[in-house]
C-alpha cells in the first residue's frame, strides 16, 4: 500500500511516498532557512507563505519521481497538529484538495508521534519503548505501548532542547538554525571547560520534566561577562561544547530514570536535535546497561514527509477519513498535554 505524506508543521515543506510503511519511494523536502535567516528564527507568517509557494510543484515532482501513478496511491496522510497554525493550514488544505480531486481518503497525523516513526524504516522496533523527543518545538519523554497508546512521562516546562540551541546561537550571532552550527563549532571545544547547571536535576522534586531556559540564560550571561572582562583565554568553542554537554547530561539523566522507573529496556530517540553528535555519543553509555537504543538516520531527524506517510500506514484502518468527514477536518496548533508551564508528576 502506497501512502503520500505531507508535512508542513514548521519551516520545512516535505512530501514523500512510502510503500507499506517501510520503503521510502520518494522524499522531497525544501527547507526555509534562507527565508528566516535574517530573523534568526522562524517567522510564522513567512513560513506559511513559503509553504504555499512550493507545495504544489514539490508534490508534482515527488509523484513523478516515485514513478507511482496516482491511481496506486491509497491515501493522503497529512500533519494536522501540533505546529504553526498557518503552516499546518496550508498543508491540510492542500491535502484536502488533492484527496478530493483524486477521490482518496485522508489520514490526519500527530507530528510528535510521527517523529518517532523516523526510526522504523531501518529497524523493526518492538513495543513497549521509551521515546525521547528532542525537537525545536518540543522536548518530552513518552512510554509507548503502541503508536496509539502512549503516556507522556515528562516534558519541558519552558524552552525545548532545540530552541535552547537556536536561542544560544542567536545571542552569539552564529546564525540559524543554531543546533547544527553549535554542534559543528563545539567539535573544536572542550566540553568539560565549564560547568553549566543541570536544570531540574532533582528527580524527586521535578520528576522527568525538563527545563532549558535557565541553562540558556546561564550560557548567555557567562559569555557576556567574559566579553566585558576581555578575557583573551575564553574560547567560544569551549562554551558551546560545555553547553552541549550540559544538555546531553540532562537528557541522559532523565531518560535513564524513565527506563529505570518503567523497567523498559528499549529507547527510541527522535526530533531535530537527535542529529547532535554529543547527544548521540552521551547516550551510548546506556548500551552498557543493556538498553537497546535507536536514533533516526541523520536525514530523517528533522521534519519530513516520510515519517508522516510511514506512521499513517499503521493508523490506516482506524484513522482514515473519507470525503464527507475530511472536509471539516481542522488543524490544531497545540497538543494540550504538552502545555509548557506545568510539571507532569
Residues engaged in binding ligand KG4 (CB under 6 A): 10, 135-137, 162-163, 165-166, 177-180, 183, 271-273, 275-276, 302-303
Closer residue to ligand KG4 (CB): 2 or 270: 270
Query: Interface with Zn ion includes 135 (CB under 5 A)?
Result: yes
For the record, the C-alpha cell of 99 comes out as: 484527496
Residue 275 near which of Zn ion, ligand KG4, none (CB within 5-8 Å, type-dependent): ligand KG4
* 104 vs 167 by CB, closer to ligand KG4: 167
Question: Is residue 303 involved in binding Zn ion (CB under 5 A)?
Answer: yes
- Residue number with CB closer to ligand KG4 (2 or 16): 16
Using the rule CB under 5 A, is 119 a contact of Zn ion?
no
Contacts of 271 (CB under 8 A, 6+ apart): 115, 133, 134, 135, 136, 138, 139, 161, 162, 301
Which of 87/135 has CB closer to Zn ion? Answer: 135
Of 95 and 134, CB closest to ligand KG4: 134
Three cell numbers, residue 130 = 521509551
Smallest gap, in angstroms, from Cβ of residue 11 to ligand KG4? 8
Q: By C-beta, is 212 or 326 nearer to ligand KG4?
A: 212
163 scored as a contact of Zn ion (CB under 5 A) = no
Candidates 129-137, 235-243, 247-255, 317-325: pick the segment binding Zn ion (CB under 5 A): 129-137
Residue appearing with cell numbers 482506524: 318
Among candidate residues 35, 38, 16, 18, the one with its CA nearest the CA of residue 27? 16
Which one of Zn ion, ligand KG4, none interacts with residue 273, CB within 5 to 8 A by kind?
A: ligand KG4
Q: Is 319 in the site for Zn ion (CB under 5 A)?
A: no
Region near Zn ion per CB under 5 A, out of 98-106, 168-176, 302-310, 323-331: 302-310
The CB density around residue 237, as the number of other CB atoms within 10 Å, is 17
How far, in Å, CA of 122 to CA of 294, rounded? 10
- C-beta separation of 111 from 122 below 8 A: no
CB of 303 to Zn ion, least distance (A): 4
Shortest distance, position 71 Cβ to Zn ion, whole Å: 31
Contact residues toward Zn ion (CB under 5 A) are 135, 303
Amino acid at each position: 500500500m502506497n501512502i503520500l505524506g505531507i508535512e508542513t508543521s514548521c519551516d520545512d515543506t516535505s512530501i514523500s511516498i512510502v510503500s507499506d510503511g517501510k520503503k521510502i519511494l520518494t522524499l522531497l523536502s525544501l527547507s526555509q532557512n534562507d527565508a528566516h535567516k535574517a530573523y534568526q528564527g522562524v517567522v510564522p507568517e513567512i513560513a506559511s507563505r513559503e509553504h504555499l509557494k512550493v507545495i504544489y510543484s514539490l508534490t508534482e515532482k515527488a509523484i513523478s519521481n516515485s514513478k507511482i501513478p496516482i491511481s496506486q496511491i491509497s491515501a493522503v496522510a497529512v500533519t494536522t497538529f501540533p505546529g504553526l497554525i498557518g503552516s499546518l493550514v496550508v498543508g491540510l488544505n492542500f491535502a484536502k484538495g488533492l484527496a478530493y480531486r483524486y477521490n482518496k481518503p485522508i489520514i490526519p497525523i500527530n507530528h510528535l508521534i510521527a517523529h518517532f516513526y523516523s526510526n522504523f524504516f531501518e529497524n523493526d522496533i518492538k513495543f513497549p519503548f521509551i521515546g525521547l523527543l528532542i525537537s525545536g518545538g518540543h522536548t518530552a519523554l513518552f512510554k509507548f505501548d503502541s503508536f496509539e497508546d502512549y503516556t507522556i512521562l515528562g516534558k519541558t516546562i519552558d524552552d525545548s532542547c532545540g530552541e535552547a540551541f537556536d536561542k544560544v546561537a542567536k545571542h552569539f550571532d552564529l546564525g540559524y538554525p543554531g543546533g547544527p552550527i553549535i554542534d559543528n563549532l563545539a567539535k573544536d571545544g572542550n566540553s568539560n571547560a565549564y560547568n553549566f547547571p543541570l536544570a531540574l536535576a532533582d528527580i524527586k522534586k521535578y520528576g522527568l520534566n525538563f527545563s532549558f531556559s535557565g541553562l540558556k540564560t546561564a550560557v548567555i550571561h557567562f559569555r557576556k561577562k567574559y566579553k566585558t572582562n576581555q578575557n583573551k583565554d575564553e574560547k567560544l568553542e569551549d562554551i558551546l561544547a560545555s553547553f552541549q554537554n550540559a544538555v546531553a547530561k540532562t537528557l541522559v539523566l532523565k531518560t535513564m530514570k524513565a527506563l529505570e522507573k518503567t523497567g523498559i529496556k528499549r529507547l527510541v530517540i527522535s526530533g531535530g536535535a537527535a542529529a547532535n553528535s554529543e547527544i548521540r555519543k552521551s547516550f551510548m553509555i546506556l548500551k552498557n546497561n543493556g538498553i537497546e537504543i535507536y536514533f533516526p538516520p541523520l536525514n530523517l531527524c528533522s521534519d519530513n514527509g516520510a515519517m508522516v506517510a510511514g506512521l499513517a500506514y499503521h493508523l490506516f484502518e482506524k484513522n482514515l477519513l473519507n470525503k464527507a468527514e475530511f472536509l471539516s477536518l481542522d488543524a490544531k496548533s497545540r497538543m494540550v498535554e504538552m502545555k509548557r508551564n506545568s510539571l507532569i508528576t
